[in-house]
Amino acid sequence: MTGLTERERHEIARANELGLPPVVFVHGLWLLSSSWDRWRSLFEENGYAAIAPGWPDDPDSVEEARRDPEVFAHKMVRYVTDHYLDAISALGRRPAVVGHSFGGLIAQLIAGEGGSAVTVAIDPAPFRGVLPLPVSSLKSASPVLGNPLNIGRAVALTFEQFQYGWANALPEDEARSLYEEFHVPASGVTLFQAATANLNPFTEVKVDTHNPDRGPLLIISGEKDNTVPWAISNASFKQQQKNPGTTEIVEMPDRGHALTIDHGWREVAEKALEFVKRHG
Protein backbone atom coordinates (compact mmCIF):
# COMPACT_ATOMS: atom_id res chain seq x y z
CA MET A 1 0.00 0.00 0.00
CA THR A 2 3.05 2.28 -0.19
CA GLY A 3 1.80 4.08 -3.30
CA LEU A 4 -1.64 4.76 -1.87
CA THR A 5 -2.62 8.04 -0.25
CA GLU A 6 -3.60 8.39 3.38
CA ARG A 7 -7.24 8.82 2.31
CA GLU A 8 -7.13 5.65 0.22
CA ARG A 9 -5.50 3.64 2.99
CA HIS A 10 -8.14 4.88 5.43
CA GLU A 11 -10.97 3.87 3.08
CA ILE A 12 -9.48 0.41 2.60
CA ALA A 13 -9.00 -0.09 6.35
CA ARG A 14 -12.57 1.01 6.98
CA ALA A 15 -13.90 -1.40 4.33
CA ASN A 16 -11.98 -4.28 5.90
CA GLU A 17 -13.20 -3.39 9.38
CA LEU A 18 -16.83 -3.22 8.27
CA GLY A 19 -16.63 -6.69 6.78
CA LEU A 20 -19.20 -5.78 4.12
CA PRO A 21 -18.83 -6.65 0.43
CA PRO A 22 -16.46 -4.02 -1.00
CA VAL A 23 -17.05 -2.05 -4.18
CA VAL A 24 -14.29 -0.07 -5.87
CA PHE A 25 -15.16 2.91 -8.10
CA VAL A 26 -12.79 3.90 -10.90
CA HIS A 27 -13.10 7.36 -12.46
CA GLY A 28 -11.97 8.27 -15.96
CA LEU A 29 -10.39 11.26 -17.66
CA TRP A 30 -11.49 14.80 -16.78
CA LEU A 31 -12.93 13.77 -13.41
CA LEU A 32 -11.71 13.10 -9.87
CA SER A 33 -12.75 10.33 -7.47
CA SER A 34 -15.15 12.76 -5.78
CA SER A 35 -17.39 12.38 -8.83
CA TRP A 36 -18.46 9.05 -7.27
CA ASP A 37 -19.61 10.49 -3.93
CA ARG A 38 -23.33 10.02 -4.56
CA TRP A 39 -22.77 6.52 -5.96
CA ARG A 40 -20.77 5.56 -2.88
CA SER A 41 -23.58 6.69 -0.60
CA LEU A 42 -26.16 4.70 -2.57
CA PHE A 43 -24.09 1.51 -2.50
CA GLU A 44 -23.33 1.90 1.21
CA GLU A 45 -27.04 2.35 1.92
CA ASN A 46 -27.45 -1.05 0.26
CA GLY A 47 -24.91 -2.90 2.36
CA TYR A 48 -21.58 -2.34 0.61
CA ALA A 49 -18.32 -0.80 1.76
CA ALA A 50 -17.37 1.67 -0.97
CA ILE A 51 -13.93 3.00 -1.83
CA ALA A 52 -12.97 5.36 -4.64
CA PRO A 53 -9.21 5.61 -5.14
CA GLY A 54 -7.95 8.37 -7.38
CA TRP A 55 -5.45 7.99 -10.16
CA PRO A 56 -1.86 8.25 -8.86
CA ASP A 57 -1.01 11.78 -7.69
CA ASP A 58 -4.54 13.11 -8.24
CA PRO A 59 -5.17 16.38 -6.36
CA ASP A 60 -7.69 16.34 -3.54
CA SER A 61 -10.08 18.85 -5.11
CA VAL A 62 -11.19 20.34 -8.41
CA GLU A 63 -9.86 23.73 -7.33
CA GLU A 64 -6.41 22.31 -6.62
CA ALA A 65 -6.45 20.41 -9.91
CA ARG A 66 -7.11 23.58 -11.87
CA ARG A 67 -4.29 25.41 -10.09
CA ASP A 68 -1.73 22.72 -10.94
CA PRO A 69 -2.95 20.94 -14.10
CA GLU A 70 0.40 19.39 -15.07
CA VAL A 71 0.11 16.91 -12.20
CA PHE A 72 -2.17 14.93 -14.54
CA ALA A 73 0.39 14.55 -17.34
CA HIS A 74 2.18 11.29 -18.19
CA LYS A 75 -0.27 8.95 -16.43
CA MET A 76 -0.30 5.82 -18.55
CA VAL A 77 -2.90 3.05 -18.49
CA ARG A 78 -0.73 0.35 -16.88
CA TYR A 79 0.48 2.72 -14.17
CA VAL A 80 -3.07 3.70 -13.26
CA THR A 81 -4.35 0.12 -13.41
CA ASP A 82 -1.59 -1.07 -11.09
CA HIS A 83 -2.55 1.62 -8.60
CA TYR A 84 -6.09 0.23 -8.44
CA LEU A 85 -4.80 -3.34 -8.23
CA ASP A 86 -2.64 -2.30 -5.28
CA ALA A 87 -5.74 -0.96 -3.54
CA ILE A 88 -7.70 -4.12 -4.34
CA SER A 89 -4.92 -6.38 -3.06
CA ALA A 90 -5.21 -4.67 0.34
CA LEU A 91 -8.89 -5.53 0.65
CA GLY A 92 -9.95 -8.63 2.55
CA ARG A 93 -11.97 -9.99 -0.36
CA ARG A 94 -12.37 -9.44 -4.09
CA PRO A 95 -14.54 -6.39 -4.69
CA ALA A 96 -17.11 -5.39 -7.21
CA VAL A 97 -15.51 -2.85 -9.55
CA VAL A 98 -17.47 -0.05 -11.23
CA GLY A 99 -15.75 2.21 -13.76
CA HIS A 100 -16.76 4.99 -16.12
CA SER A 101 -15.15 5.98 -19.44
CA PHE A 102 -11.40 5.31 -19.09
CA GLY A 103 -12.33 3.96 -15.68
CA GLY A 104 -14.57 1.48 -17.51
CA LEU A 105 -11.56 0.34 -19.52
CA ILE A 106 -9.46 0.03 -16.36
CA ALA A 107 -12.29 -1.91 -14.69
CA GLN A 108 -12.15 -4.42 -17.56
CA LEU A 109 -8.36 -4.67 -17.29
CA ILE A 110 -8.78 -5.43 -13.58
CA ALA A 111 -11.46 -8.03 -14.34
CA GLY A 112 -9.25 -9.63 -16.99
CA GLU A 113 -6.57 -10.12 -14.34
CA GLY A 114 -9.07 -11.75 -11.98
CA GLY A 115 -9.09 -8.77 -9.62
CA SER A 116 -12.84 -8.25 -9.36
CA ALA A 117 -15.74 -10.43 -8.28
CA VAL A 118 -18.18 -8.60 -10.57
CA THR A 119 -17.61 -5.64 -12.91
CA VAL A 120 -19.65 -2.79 -14.36
CA ALA A 121 -18.10 -0.76 -17.19
CA ILE A 122 -20.03 2.40 -18.08
CA ASP A 123 -19.40 3.98 -21.49
CA PRO A 124 -15.97 2.30 -21.44
CA ALA A 125 -13.04 3.53 -23.51
CA PRO A 126 -12.05 0.99 -26.19
CA PHE A 127 -9.30 -1.61 -25.88
CA ARG A 128 -7.28 -3.53 -28.47
CA GLY A 129 -9.68 -5.48 -30.70
CA VAL A 130 -12.47 -2.91 -30.48
CA LEU A 131 -12.48 -1.56 -34.03
CA PRO A 132 -15.29 0.98 -34.61
CA LEU A 133 -14.19 4.64 -34.87
CA PRO A 134 -17.40 6.73 -35.01
CA VAL A 135 -17.02 10.31 -36.19
CA SER A 136 -18.45 11.69 -32.94
CA SER A 137 -15.85 9.77 -30.94
CA LEU A 138 -13.02 11.14 -33.07
CA LYS A 139 -14.39 14.66 -32.67
CA SER A 140 -14.68 14.21 -28.89
CA ALA A 141 -11.05 13.08 -28.71
CA SER A 142 -9.74 15.74 -31.09
CA PRO A 143 -8.87 18.29 -28.33
CA VAL A 144 -6.17 15.81 -27.31
CA LEU A 145 -5.37 13.79 -30.44
CA GLY A 146 -5.37 16.87 -32.67
CA ASN A 147 -1.95 17.89 -31.35
CA PRO A 148 0.80 15.22 -31.08
CA LEU A 149 2.53 17.29 -28.39
CA ASN A 150 -0.40 16.55 -26.08
CA ILE A 151 1.02 13.06 -25.52
CA GLY A 152 3.20 14.61 -22.80
CA ARG A 153 0.72 17.13 -21.48
CA ALA A 154 -2.33 17.51 -19.32
CA VAL A 155 -5.24 18.75 -21.42
CA ALA A 156 -8.33 20.63 -20.26
CA LEU A 157 -11.52 20.88 -22.30
CA THR A 158 -13.22 24.14 -23.14
CA PHE A 159 -16.86 24.31 -22.16
CA GLU A 160 -17.85 23.85 -25.80
CA GLN A 161 -15.73 20.70 -26.06
CA PHE A 162 -17.17 19.38 -22.80
CA GLN A 163 -20.68 20.13 -23.98
CA TYR A 164 -20.18 18.14 -27.20
CA GLY A 165 -18.37 15.17 -25.72
CA TRP A 166 -20.09 14.90 -22.35
CA ALA A 167 -23.22 17.00 -22.05
CA ASN A 168 -24.84 16.94 -25.50
CA ALA A 169 -27.95 15.30 -24.04
CA LEU A 170 -28.37 17.97 -21.35
CA PRO A 171 -29.71 21.54 -21.25
CA GLU A 172 -26.97 24.16 -21.36
CA ASP A 173 -27.46 25.33 -17.77
CA GLU A 174 -26.90 21.83 -16.42
CA ALA A 175 -23.94 21.32 -18.75
CA ARG A 176 -22.30 24.50 -17.41
CA SER A 177 -22.99 23.47 -13.84
CA LEU A 178 -21.36 20.06 -14.35
CA TYR A 179 -18.39 21.65 -16.09
CA GLU A 180 -17.79 23.99 -13.17
CA GLU A 181 -18.33 21.33 -10.51
CA PHE A 182 -16.47 18.34 -11.95
CA HIS A 183 -14.20 19.09 -14.93
CA VAL A 184 -10.43 18.88 -14.43
CA PRO A 185 -7.50 18.48 -16.89
CA ALA A 186 -6.59 14.97 -18.03
CA SER A 187 -3.55 13.01 -19.12
CA GLY A 188 -3.10 13.19 -22.88
CA VAL A 189 -1.01 10.04 -23.18
CA THR A 190 -3.85 7.71 -22.16
CA LEU A 191 -5.97 8.80 -25.12
CA PHE A 192 -3.04 8.28 -27.47
CA GLN A 193 -2.62 4.80 -26.01
CA ALA A 194 -6.26 3.95 -26.71
CA ALA A 195 -6.16 5.51 -30.19
CA THR A 196 -3.15 3.42 -31.24
CA ALA A 197 -4.06 0.18 -29.44
CA ASN A 198 -5.00 -1.68 -32.62
CA LEU A 199 -1.71 -0.67 -34.25
CA ASN A 200 0.53 -1.66 -31.34
CA PRO A 201 0.82 -5.39 -30.48
CA PHE A 202 2.58 -4.44 -27.23
CA THR A 203 -0.08 -1.95 -26.11
CA GLU A 204 -1.01 -1.59 -22.46
CA VAL A 205 -4.62 -1.21 -23.61
CA LYS A 206 -5.20 -4.96 -24.02
CA VAL A 207 -7.91 -6.71 -22.01
CA ASP A 208 -7.84 -10.44 -21.28
CA THR A 209 -11.40 -11.25 -22.29
CA HIS A 210 -10.87 -15.03 -22.00
CA ASN A 211 -9.80 -15.35 -18.36
CA PRO A 212 -12.35 -17.66 -16.68
CA ASP A 213 -11.75 -15.76 -13.42
CA ARG A 214 -13.02 -12.54 -14.98
CA GLY A 215 -16.43 -12.90 -13.34
CA PRO A 216 -19.77 -11.39 -14.41
CA LEU A 217 -19.53 -8.18 -16.46
CA LEU A 218 -22.10 -5.54 -17.36
CA ILE A 219 -21.50 -2.81 -19.95
CA ILE A 220 -23.76 0.25 -19.72
CA SER A 221 -24.00 2.53 -22.76
CA GLY A 222 -25.58 5.96 -23.03
CA GLU A 223 -27.77 6.17 -26.14
CA LYS A 224 -26.62 9.69 -27.03
CA ASP A 225 -23.00 9.40 -25.93
CA ASN A 226 -20.75 11.20 -28.42
CA THR A 227 -17.51 10.13 -26.73
CA VAL A 228 -18.17 6.38 -26.45
CA PRO A 229 -21.12 5.70 -28.76
CA TRP A 230 -23.07 2.44 -28.85
CA ALA A 231 -20.85 1.12 -31.66
CA ILE A 232 -17.83 1.12 -29.33
CA SER A 233 -19.66 -0.22 -26.28
CA ASN A 234 -21.28 -2.98 -28.32
CA ALA A 235 -17.95 -3.93 -29.91
CA SER A 236 -16.46 -4.18 -26.40
CA PHE A 237 -19.42 -6.37 -25.41
CA LYS A 238 -18.86 -8.70 -28.36
CA GLN A 239 -15.21 -9.11 -27.37
CA GLN A 240 -16.22 -9.81 -23.77
CA GLN A 241 -18.82 -12.37 -24.84
CA LYS A 242 -15.92 -14.71 -25.57
CA ASN A 243 -15.60 -15.15 -21.80
CA PRO A 244 -17.40 -18.09 -20.13
CA GLY A 245 -18.75 -15.74 -17.47
CA THR A 246 -22.00 -13.79 -17.63
CA THR A 247 -21.70 -10.82 -19.99
CA GLU A 248 -24.52 -8.30 -20.43
CA ILE A 249 -25.03 -4.92 -22.06
CA VAL A 250 -27.74 -2.33 -21.55
CA GLU A 251 -28.40 1.00 -23.24
CA MET A 252 -29.67 3.95 -21.22
CA PRO A 253 -32.09 5.98 -23.37
CA ASP A 254 -31.42 9.69 -23.97
CA ARG A 255 -28.19 9.67 -21.95
CA GLY A 256 -24.80 11.11 -22.85
CA HIS A 257 -21.29 10.58 -21.50
CA ALA A 258 -22.08 12.53 -18.32
CA LEU A 259 -24.62 9.90 -17.26
CA THR A 260 -22.74 9.11 -14.02
CA ILE A 261 -22.78 12.72 -12.77
CA ASP A 262 -25.82 14.40 -14.32
CA HIS A 263 -29.36 14.68 -12.92
CA GLY A 264 -30.14 11.08 -13.91
CA TRP A 265 -27.15 9.48 -12.19
CA ARG A 266 -29.32 7.46 -9.81
CA GLU A 267 -31.03 5.54 -12.61
CA VAL A 268 -27.62 4.43 -13.91
CA ALA A 269 -26.33 3.69 -10.41
CA GLU A 270 -29.36 1.55 -9.61
CA LYS A 271 -28.84 -0.41 -12.83
CA ALA A 272 -25.23 -1.08 -11.78
CA LEU A 273 -26.27 -1.89 -8.20
CA GLU A 274 -28.89 -4.39 -9.36
CA PHE A 275 -26.28 -6.24 -11.44
CA VAL A 276 -23.77 -6.27 -8.59
CA LYS A 277 -26.40 -7.58 -6.17
CA ARG A 278 -27.52 -10.26 -8.62
CA HIS A 279 -24.03 -11.54 -9.37
CA GLY A 280 -21.90 -10.43 -6.44
Q: Mean pLDDT for each 10-residue chunk of the chain (280 residues)?
A: 87 97 98 98 98 96 95 96 98 98 98 98 98 96 97 97 98 98 98 96 97 98 98 98 97 98 98 96
Domains and CATH numbers, the chain: 6-279 (3.40.50.1820)
Closest CA to 261 of 7, 30, 107: 30
- Note if the pTM is more than 0.95: yes
**DSSP class per residue in 33-82:** GGGGHHHHHHHHHTT-EEE---STT--SSHHHHHHSGGGGTT--HHHHHH
pLDDT of residue 280: 79
SS3 content of the chain, % helix, strand, coil (to 5): 45, 10, 40
Neighbours of 179 (CB within 10 A): 20
CA angle 78, 108, 65 (to 5 degrees): 55
Give me the pLDDT at residue 152, please.
Answer: 96
